[in-house]
Amino acid sequence: MKIQTGLVALSLSFAGNAYNDDQGKAGLELDVGVSGFFSSVLESAEISFIESNSPAEKAGLQVGDRIVAIDDCQVPGCLTSEAKQRLKRHPGDLVPIVIQRDDDTQVYTTLRLE
């Protein structure tokens, strides 16, 4: 963990959890900036890794994309715990994602968790 101007930079993985077979897999990792300690809030979320042939890749997400919303939870402003819950659902569930690319275009897509 490193601290940058009041934000904590973390890496969160939403590739799936080996201990929970009921949990769907998105196949991506995020570098996030958060504020707060007990009820941390996402200030930024950038895709740092995408598994090959994963739901994230199939949805057209790319490394470097910045997440603007996860299932209507806006970034910045979404509670970290809420963002995790919205991405960690059951296989077959759909998760709407809005991302922003380097050229400032926004892409609306849906992850179908596996």
CATH number at residue 107: 2.30.42.10
Q: How far is CA 1 from CA 9, 34, 57, 92, in A?
A: 6, 11, 27, 33
Q: Are 16 and 26 in contact (CB under 8 A)?
A: yes
Range of the domain at 48: 2-112
Confidence of residue 21 (pLDDT cuts 50, 70, 90): low
**Whole-structure pTM value:** 0.77
Cis peptide before 76 (omega within 30 of 0): yes
pLDDT digits (tens, 9 = 90+) for 60-113: 999 999 999 999 999 999 998 888 888 778 899 999 999 999 999 999 999 898
Q: How many domains does the chain have?
A: 1
Q: Report the sign of the C-alpha dihedral through residues 107, 113, 71, 82, in that order.
A: negative
Res 5: pLDDT: 31
Output the average pLDDT for the chain: 81
- SS3 state at 33: strand
